[in-house]
Structure 1
Amino acid sequence: MLERNLARRAPTVSPLVSEASVTVRPLDPQGRLAFRIKPAALAGRGTIDGFDLTGAINSRTSPEADSGMRTALRLGPDEWMLITAADEVDERCEAISAALTGVPHSLVDVSHRDVGFSVEGPGADVVVNAGCPIDLAAKAFPAGSATRTILGKAEIVLARLAADRFTVTTWRTFAPYVQGFLVEATRS
């Protein structure tokens, strides 16, 4: 029932290509896990269930370049967003919990809460920067970077996959606003 209700409320958006060749399109559903653990508890563990947790704060690590599956976004000293295939969430939760038996941690499935967008093409950084206060120049925010920030008035998780490719993740309730903001920025 929940799946049907979420599908019915999913933003109905279609890809947009602007004159500047920047495309804003919704991403297919992904599994997203909010993961918190003290770094000291990870001593001797570089990966857990295929998620590479060794990245610096504000980084994105993925075992296979741009695979998008089993990707870890390190958003803070003890905070990661783990991204996996939508149909593997329960399996990933069980495997991570089993690997961390007896170790204090928090693992919450937030897949239902988030919606993702891809912003691609020459000038994608300018489009995102229209509402994001951080410096998105390639030197300041290179490919492999990820952070929690804002776009306009909405909180987002921003990841740079390549020089001209970003993912923007926001709460489902903010998705129409975020998409509208990005689409409008492509027209500027």
Structure 2
Amino acid sequence: MLDVNLASRAPALAPRSSDAGVTVAPLGPQGRLSLRIKPAALGDDTAIDGFDLSGPINSRRSAGDGAATRTALRLGPDEWMLLCPADDVEERSEALAAALNDTAHSLVDVSHRDVSFVVAGAEADSVINAGCPIDLALAAFPVGAATRTLLGKAEIVLTRLAEDRFTVTSWRSFAPYVQGFLVEAARHQL
């Protein structure tokens, strides 16, 4: 384990608001675990260490509340991004590894790799759609949806938290570009 917590070394990014009422605000450090496992290997036990892995592809499932919230984003047939508090990553990693000990899987701590932004406001979907090719209409991308996609030239993980609230997660090195793109798109919303 690194002595220096790389997750706390986020780029200097400040919240920004537009005249259209859309806010782009960086989230603080968050624990992120990349889990790859065949769903058949899970059997009927789709709740592991408080993470609900039962959702369909491109969905978000959360359990717990407040600081103890655990979220599973199902991004592919055998791929989940597990979110937990930043200071809980090591304990969650050990508990998941123990629970899956006899099952073929890959579990990697990627907390240091990503930065997330909350994009909120009545035109948040339009701001994201300025650079994202998927349909963000509520009927096509409902609350609880999560997917890997593009924003401009950067790969992102996009999650819809509410009708007018999203998280956009990118690799740390792309974070200034992603925030700049979102802020610029928000400035041009009428």
Q: TM-score range by the shorter chain?
A: over 0.9
TM-score, normalised relative to structure 1 = 0.95
Which has the higher mean CA deviation after the structures are superposed, 171-180 or 68-77?
Answer: 68-77
Cα separation, 2, equivalents of 1:172 and 1:74: 21
User: Do the aligned residues in 1 keep the contact of 2:34 with 2:107 (CA within 8 Å)?
Assistant: yes
Cα separation, 2, equivalents of 1:128 and 1:80: 23
User: Do the aligned residues in 1 keep the contact of 2:67 with 2:85 (CA within 8 Å)?
Assistant: no
User: Offset of 1:74 from its aligned partner?
Assistant: 0.1
- 2:140 is equivalent to residue 140 of structure 1: yes
The list of structure 1 runs, each at least 4 consecutive aligned residues, that deviate by more than 3 angstroms after superposition, is 5-8, 64-68
User: Offset of 1:63 from its aligned partner?
Assistant: 1.7
User: Do the aligned residues in 1 keep the contact of 2:8 with 2:29 (CA within 8 Å)?
Assistant: no
**Equivalent residue runs for 1:145-160 within 5 Å:** 145-160=145-160
1:116 match? 116
1:2 match? 4
2:44 match? 44
User: Offset of 1:28 from its aligned partner?
Assistant: 1.0
- 2:23 is equivalent to residue 23 of structure 1: yes
Q: Which amino acid counterpart does residue 135 of structure 2 have in structure 1? A: D
- 2:86 is equivalent to residue 86 of structure 1: yes
Inter-CA distance 122–66: structure 2 relative to 1 (3 Å threshold): farther
Cα separation, 2, equivalents of 1:7 and 1:89: 13
**Equivalent residue runs for 1:50-129 within 5 Å:** 50-64=50-64, 69-129=69-129
Unaligned stretches of 5+ in structure 1?
Answer: none
User: Offset of 1:126 from its aligned partner?
Assistant: 0.3
Cα separation, 2, equivalents of 1:157 and 1:68: 22
Cα separation, 2, equivalents of 1:73 and 1:146: 6
User: Offset of 1:69 from its aligned partner?
Assistant: 2.4
TM-score, normalised relative to structure 2 = 0.94
User: Do the aligned residues in 2 keep the contact of 1:62 with 1:68 (CA within 8 Å)?
Assistant: no
2:125 aligned counterpart, secondary structure:
helix
User: Offset of 1:42 from its aligned partner?
Assistant: 0.7
User: Offset of 1:2 from its aligned partner?
Assistant: 2.9
Unaligned stretches of 5+ in structure 2?
Answer: none
2:63 aligned counterpart, secondary structure:
coil
Q: Which amino acid counterpart does residue 81 of structure 1 have in structure 2? A: M
CA RMSD between the two structures: 1.6
Q: Which amino acid counterpart does residue 103 of structure 1 have in structure 2? A: T
Q: Which amino acid counterpart does residue 132 of structure 2 have in structure 1? A: C
**Equivalent residue runs for 1:169-184 within 5 Å:** 169-184=169-184
User: Offset of 1:46 from its aligned partner?
Assistant: 2.0
Which has the higher mean CA deviation after the structures are superposed, 105-114 or 10-19?
Answer: 10-19
1:62 aligned counterpart, secondary structure:
strand
Inter-CA distance 152–109: structure 2 relative to 1 (3 Å threshold): same
1:146-177 deviation line (CA, Å, top 9, x unaligned): 00000000000000000000000000000000
Cα separation, 1, equivalents of 2:65 and 2:137: 21
